């Protein structure tokens, strides 16, 4: 199997992120059945292919309660994010317990941050930014508008919206973005360490 490394550039809130993706070419072979002989085949009653059905054994009540506790523990240990646009803050919950909250910048008029229920779909450390007009590439560092972390939660296939850092931390707390959730760089790194792909993101007014 031969691997090919390519770079996909994504438009992010009027920005673009270069993310390396690994693609693989997979070769498949088909068997030649043209010389198969059917002369020695015998008819087999179809009943012989039916699976044997056994009477199921019911779990004891203690075992059922064990699985219920496991499900409850999983919920209590799963992080979820709630963004309140009117407060311009993101809240990190684990179960019903509030673990942390951070100030954020949200979308400006005409580029409002969408509301609803989403999931984290991309996580990138030290993203590369491409200027959408000039094509200039900005490497990771203090001048990068995406800051040190990127976490996408919305996309229409071309445009992306997510959490990211900033090179202008003084604007955090204002409605200045193109829909993304901007955070102070230390805060976005802390948030990155608390979530995973699939983490629930709820955005409220």
Measured in degrees and rounded to the nearest 5, phi and psi for residue 113 equal -70, 130
164 is catalytic: yes
Dihedral sign for Cα atoms in the order 161, 196, 200, 166: negative
Q: What count of other Cβ atoms lies within 10 Å of the Cβ of residue 78? A: 14
Other beta carbons within 10 Å of 106: 25
- Is 13 among the catalytic positions? no
13, 66, 164, 178: the active-site residue: 164
Beta strands in 51-142 (DSSP E): 79-84, 89-94, 97-103, 106-107, 116-119, 122-125, 128-130, 137-138
Residues designated as active site? 164, 180
């Amino acid at each position: 199997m031969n691997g090919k490394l390519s770079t996909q550039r994504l438009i992010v809130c009027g920005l673009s992120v270069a993310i390396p993706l690994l693609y693989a070419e997979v070769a498949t072979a088909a068997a030649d059945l043209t010389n198969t002989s059917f002369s020695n085949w015998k008819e087999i009653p179809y009943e012989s292919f039916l699976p044997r059905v056994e009477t199921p054994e019911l779990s004891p009540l203690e075992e059922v309660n064990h699985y219920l506790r496991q499900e409850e523990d999983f919920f209590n240990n799963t992080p979820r994010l709630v963004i309140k646009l009117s407060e311009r803050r993101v809240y990190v919950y684990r179960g019903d317990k509030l673990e942390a909250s951070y100030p954020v910048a949200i979308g400006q008029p005409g580029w409002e941050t969408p509301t609803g229920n989403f999931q984290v779909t991309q996580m990138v450390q030290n993203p590369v930014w491409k200027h959408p007009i000039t094509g200039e590439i900005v490497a990771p560092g203090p001048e990068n508008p995406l800051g040190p972390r990127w976490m996408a939660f919305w996309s229409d296939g071309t445009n992306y919206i997510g959490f990211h850092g900033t090179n202008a931390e003084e604007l955090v707390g204002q409605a200045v973005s193109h829909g993304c959730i901007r955070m102070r760089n230390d805060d976005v790194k802390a948030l990155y360490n608390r979530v995973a792909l699939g983490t629930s993101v709820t955005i409220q007014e």
